[in-house]
Structures are given as structure tokens and as C-alpha cells.
Amino acid sequence: MCGLAGLQRLDLDRAEQLDAGTMAGSLAHRGPDATGSWRCPSGTFELGFRRLAIRDLDPRANQPMISASGRTVLAFNGEIYNTEELVARCCPGASLRTTSDSEVLLEAFERCGPGVLESVNGMFAAVFYCTESRTAWLARDGVGKKPLYVYQGTGYVAFASELRAFAGLPLQPDPDRVPCFLHFGYIPAPGTFYRHVTQLRPGERIQLRGGRVVARHRFHDPLTWSWGSQSRVDPDRIQELVDDSVARRTVSDVPVGTFLSGGVDSSLVAASLASSGHGRLPSFTVSFDEPRFNEGPEAAAVAAQLGLPHRDIRVRIDELPGLVDDYLDCYEQPYADTSGLPTMLLCREVRRHVRVALCGDGGDECFGGYSRYGWFQRALAAGKWPRVFRSVAGRLARGCDRRRGARIARWLETRDPAGLYAEILRGWHATSLAQLVPGVAGADEIPVQLVRDVFGRVDADPLSQAAAFDVAYYIPDDLQVKVDRASMRFGLEVRCPLLDRRVMSAGAELSTSVLRAGGPKSVLRNVLARRLPRRLFERPKSGFAVPLAAWLAGPLRDRVADALRARVFRECGWLEMRTVQDVGRAFVAGRTEHAGAIWKLFVLSEMLQRAAAGSSRQPARRAA
């Protein structure tokens, strides 16, 4: 795990005031162990690097790394888990100078070309530069574990692991990104909050030459998997894939541990660790004083059953609002997943004990774990009722449940699965987005169209299509943003065995009837039951929930009010402020279902203020 940055320019008079070393310096938290830089003889291409040393601690494994031939230079953030296979395929008989996965990736790329990325099993953001052709390739892993942002300037391209590396460049917030943020709580790739800045999509590589992007290629796309095609499950194969994935992710030259919540996914990873001879690796849980948010006892029971040393990290939930500024700085652009707060605390504390941690992310999407999949199925079934029954049920729903009733009614009115799932995902309930963001044409339709595009590309049943959307967007743009930024803020590497694409595709290929036959995530539950008594994990799904409405009405009340009154927020010209005020008044009056809307508006305001402050500090632009 590391941080990388760099740029390619047409000539030396381009690229504002940027240099790769300064850019990489802003990423020191991602790589506290070593720093490095490289510049081509003409000065038109630069790389900067910060290293978190995990495999091969020898300084010879530092980066940027130059190939044995001298023709290729690499800067690489992540871990490669199938290095032996890559060596056998691309570098047979080669005399490698280090035992690092970085050198294997570099030499394999030089010998086999960009196509080798299709065979890489790992999490990575990588930059390869060919000194002969003066061409660079940027690539991101197929699941989107590691980030890579690209700034397209006039006559130059800059790239980095985090947006903060572009602080010396003109960054202009883009109102067109607001509808998706308010709808989903994140900004889907390739978009970002800023004009001229994009991010690589999962499984994408781009080619740079002459200070501009000349080609883009998707070498891995989960939408092309055989979604829902298998009507039988092989538990032995699932267990074998999970065990192999876990084993590959324990390879490290520094201490390793695992996150453990006591739920199915993290328990499955922990059980695989224990059964494979890694039973002395420690497990870690964040626990809270409030019982409804606390999974500490369940996690401790699982650890005791498996014989894992266990640490319970106790946190008072009322401490979390004090971390809001850290949260905003950590996630850099509008991002509304409040579970990022306890995730930051977990990573901070775990880093005191280990440098690598395994986690259970990835079991829900491809194995039917989310409760929303059940809602989706039931809504689709209800949509087949006669119209008169749907109409009556919709009216009853509106009267019984103020927050969910309107959504249920809309479910019953639609026959469009994609529109229905988009409605389930909709995190903005206060009013229409068109009323709030009148300057963005089709604001209400933009997020829905994103869902429709995925459903249109996946030839499978609606539940498989819904899971495919979550794999394509929710995992990389929400879950992995949360884990990568929170962990790397403290120099902790987090590896996710269930996000191994072999495990994911095995689940994705199972039909809905198989996945839901025994309830949510029954396939993984049955595999886990081979190693752990069901009483230890058979309970309703929980998560890193926080009491958001209580925070907004209590310790964050004045802070939120100030943010919604901030001049840059009121005068940005994007928002209909009367609508903002109406939402705020409704929340103050007790409409707690608007808490999510208030939080998103707060985050948006804070990010606008930070962007404005950054613009005022930027140096004068150098003439091209």
C-alpha cells in the first residue's frame, strides 16, 4: 500500500506549478516508510512515490522502480496475490533482484504488455512508463480497491492516489455531480466533484502520450460475468475459493490481523484463517456502549470459538461527532456514508498493533446479503398485483410509514425493475432533486439512468441485475472509498478476501433461487456452518450504524446550521435555497426521516467551503 503521483506534459512550460515530489509529499500518510521520485531526461514525465513497506522491506524494493532493461518505470500502489503465476507465465528463468510483488508486476508488464493486467489477481493502481516510446499507462484493479485520479490540463495530465495531490491546480466544483451524490451518497466513477478531474473506473487502463489521454480500455468489467446462470451451488468450491483467497492475503513481511464484527462475512474470513494454521493472528472489533450499535460480544464469542487472540476497541459513540472535520478531510469530496467515522477509529487503533488487516467486505453483493434485495423481490412481486390492489396498498403504505410509505407506493406503481431498484437506493427523500438543483437538467433522472444502463447490459433476472449495479458502483465508489481512505490515513493496509474476483464471480453466477433459497446469504452461511456453530452468527444483519438524527439535533446542530448558512453554499447558484430551508425546518420540527438529507447538505456545504478556501490559496497560474 502506498501513494503515487505524477504528471506528463507536452513541454516544460506546461503543468502550472506542479512537481511530482510535492504531489507525493501530500500523500505521506499513505506511505510513511520511504519516499522516491523519478524524472525522464527531457523532464516531461515525472513520478513521485510514498511507500508503506509490506512485502520485501529491503530498500531495493522502493519505488519508482526501473526494470532490469531500463526501458520501463513503475509506480504501484497495492498488492499482487498471484506473483508466482505471473513469473511462470511472463518471466520464466528471470533473475529478479527482489522478492517484491512490485518487481514481478513491472517485469511481467514489460515482457507481456498491457494485456497482462487481465491476469493479475490483486488490488492495485499502477503507472507504467516506457522510456523508448515516451508512453505511460495508468491502470486500476478490476474491483476498484485502489484509487487513481486524473487531472486533464492544457498540454499536461496529472495523476495521483488522492485528490489532495492536485491542491496546486485550479479545482472547480461541478454541479452536475450533485444529483448522484444526493441520490446514492457518493459520486460514481469516472466522475469526481471537480471539473477536469476524473477517476479511472475499476478494471480500466488509460494511455498517455504528449500530455494527453490518447486511449482508454476496460480490461475487466464485472457486468460481463455470467450473472445468475447457475442453478446449483457447489459449497466445496466456494469454500476452496475463500480459503485460497484468504491464504494469499496473509503473505506479508509485517504483522497481520483481521477485522471481526461477528457477522457472516468477517467470521468466514476469520474461520478460514484459523483453519489454515494462522490461528494466532489477532482479531479486532470496535464496540460501543449503546447495545443497538454494539457487536462486541458477538465478535468476542466468534474469536473465542476459533481460538483467535482478540482485541475489543471500546468507543463511546458520542465521541464520533468530534471527528467530523477529520472525516471531511479524509474523504476529500462529497461522501455521505457515516460508517466512515467508526471505520476511521477502527483503522487508527488496529494500526497500533498490525500493519495489515483482513476484512469481510464483499459477501453481500454477490451472495444476496442485503435486506434491500428482499425488499426488491417483494416489490417486484407486488407490482404484479391487479391495479386496484396496488393503489389501495400504496395509500395504506403512505399512511402507515412516513419515511418509507411514499417509496413503497412508488414501488407499487412501477413495472420497471431498474427504476424500482433506483428508487430503493434513493437516499434523498425530502423533495425532488429537480426542485433542489434546478440548474442541472434532468436531475431526478440522472441517477435512475445510471441504474438502467447497468440493467440493460446484464442479461439476467432483476436481483442479479441489482447485484451487478452494486458491484459496478457501490463497492468501488462507496465501500472501498471508505476502507481505502480510512485505512491509508493511518498507514494500515486492508485486504478483502471476499473481493477476490474468483469468489465474487462464483457468487454472481448463482441464480436468485439458489442465493435466496435459505434466506439472505444462505450460501455463505452454509459454508461457515462447517466451521462455526450457527448460534454464533445466525442473527439479523448489522453494520457500522450511527445515531445520525440524534447527532444532527444535538452535538452537531450549531455546526450544521452554520454550514447551511455559509455564504459560499447560499451563493453557489446551484441550489434552490427555499427548498434547503424547507428541509431544515421539517427536520427541526421532528421529521427525522430527513436526517440523511440534512447530512448530505452539510457535507456538500463543507466541501464547497473547502474548495473555495483552496482556490484562494492557489498560486498564480504560469503562462502556457
Tens digit of pLDDT for each residue in 81-112?
999 999 999 999 888 999 999 999 999 999 99
Q: What is the pLDDT of residue 450?
A: 98
The partner residues of 314 in beta bridges, in order of sequence, read 287
Q: What is the pLDDT of residue 437?
A: 96
Q: Give the amino acid at 526.
A: N
**Of 490, 619, 525, 472, nearest in space to 170 by CA:** 619
User: 352 burial class (0-12, 13-18, 19+ CB within 10 angstroms)?
Assistant: exposed
Length, in residues, of the chain: 624
Sheet containing 2-9: order of strands? 34-39, 45-51, 2-9, 156-160, 149-152, 197-199
- Report residue 54: phi and psi, to 5°: -120, -45
Cα separation values, 473 from 126, 147, 185, 227, Å: 21, 13, 11, 16
Residue 151: how many other CB atoms lie within 10 Å: 25
Cα separation values, 88 from 68, 85, 100, 363, 576, Å: 17, 5, 15, 31, 60
- Residue showing cell 426488491: 376
Residue 291: how many other CB atoms lie within 10 Å: 8
SS3 letters for 42-72? CCCEEEEEEECCCCCCCHHHCCCEECCCCCE
Q: What is the pLDDT of residue 621?
A: 37
Domains with residue ranges and CATH for the chain = 2-220 (3.60.20.10), 224-368+474-536 (3.40.50.620), 371-465 (no CATH), 548-617 (no CATH)
Q: Is 199 helix (H, G, I), strand (E, B) or coil?
A: strand
Q: What is the pLDDT of residue 195?
A: 96
Residues 6+ apart with CB under 8 A from 421: 376, 451, 455, 462, 465, 466, 469
Q: Does 184 have pLDDT greater than 60?
A: yes
What is the residue-averaged pLDDT of the chain?
91
- Residue showing cell 495508468: 138
Q: What is the pLDDT of residue 115?
A: 96
Q: Is 443 helix (H, G, I), strand (E, B) or coil?
A: coil
- Looking at mean pLDDT, say which of 205-219, 311-325, 384-398 comes out highest: 205-219
User: What confidence tier does 386 reach under pLDDT thresholds 50, 70, 90?
Assistant: confident
Print burial letters for 377-416: b (CB count within 10 Å at least 16), e (below 16).
Answer: bebbebbeeeeeebeebbeebbeeeeeebbbbbbbbbbeb
Q: Does 117 have pLDDT greater than 80?
A: yes
- Cβ contact 450:180 at 8 Å: yes
The partner residues of 49 in beta bridges, in order of sequence, read 4, 36
Q: Give the amino acid at 288.
A: F
Tens digit of pLDDT for each residue in 552-589?
999 999 999 999 999 999 999 999 999 999 999 999 99
Sheet containing 356-358: order of strands? 310-315, 283-288, 256-259, 356-358, 493-495
Lowest mean pLDDT among 16-20, 264-268, 299-303: 16-20
Omega prior to 476 cis, within 30 of 0: no
Tens digit of pLDDT for each residue in 489-532?
999 999 999 999 999 999 999 999 999 888 899 999 999 999 99
Tens digit of pLDDT for each residue in 123-147?
999 999 999 999 999 999 999 999 9
Q: Does 382 have pLDDT greater than 80?
A: no
**Of 211, 188, 182, 183, nearest in space to 201 by CA:** 188
Q: Does 622 have pLDDT greater than 50?
A: no
- Cβ contact 577:585 at 8 Å: no
Distance CA 508, CA 365 (A): 8
Q: Does 11 have pLDDT greater than 90?
A: no
**Of 572, 562, 531, nearest in space to 273 by CA:** 531
- Cβ contact 12:44 at 8 Å: yes
Q: Is pLDDT larger for residue 13 or for residue 604? A: 604
Residue 419: how many other CB atoms lie within 10 Å: 19
Distance CA 530, CA 163 (A): 44
H-run or E-run covering 118:
none
- Cβ contact 562:552 at 8 Å: no
- Report residue 159: phi and psi, to 5°: -145, 155
Give Cα 438 to chain centroid, integer Å: 29
Cα separation values, 580 from 372, 585, 601, Å: 28, 9, 8
Residue 612: how many other CB atoms lie within 10 Å: 15
Q: Does 378 have pLDDT greater than 90?
A: no
Q: What is the pLDDT of residue 620?
A: 36
Q: Does 272 have pLDDT greater than 90?
A: yes
Q: Does 616 have pLDDT greater than 60?
A: no
- Cβ contact 312:287 at 8 Å: yes
**Assigned C-alpha cell, 605:** 456545504
The partner residues of 208 in beta bridges, in order of sequence, read 136, 213
**Assigned C-alpha cell, 74:** 513503475
Q: What is the pLDDT of residue 624?
A: 28
Contacts by residues 101-109 (CB-CB < 8 Å, ≥ 24 positions apart):
101/55, 102/61, 102/63, 102/65, 102/74, 102/76, 103/61, 103/65, 104/80, 105/74, 105/76, 105/80, 106/65, 106/67, 106/72, 106/74, 106/76, 107/67, 107/68, 109/72, 109/74, 109/137
Tens digit of pLDDT for each residue in 31-76?
999 999 999 999 999 999 999 999 999 999 999 999 999 999 999 9
Q: Give the amino acid at 237.
A: R
Cα separation values, 359 from 66, 264, 497, Å: 33, 12, 7
Q: Does 255 have pLDDT greater than 60?
A: yes
Lowest mean pLDDT among 351-355, 401-405, 527-531: 401-405
Percent of residues, the chain, with pLDDT higher than 90: 79
Q: What is the pLDDT of residue 320?
A: 80
- Cβ contact 348:29 at 8 Å: no
pTM recorded for the entire structure: 0.94
User: What confidence tier does 619 reach under pLDDT thresholds 50, 70, 90?
Assistant: very low
φ/ψ region of 70 (left if φ > 0, alpha if ψ in -120 to 50, else beta) reads left
Q: Does 29 have pLDDT greater than 90?
A: yes
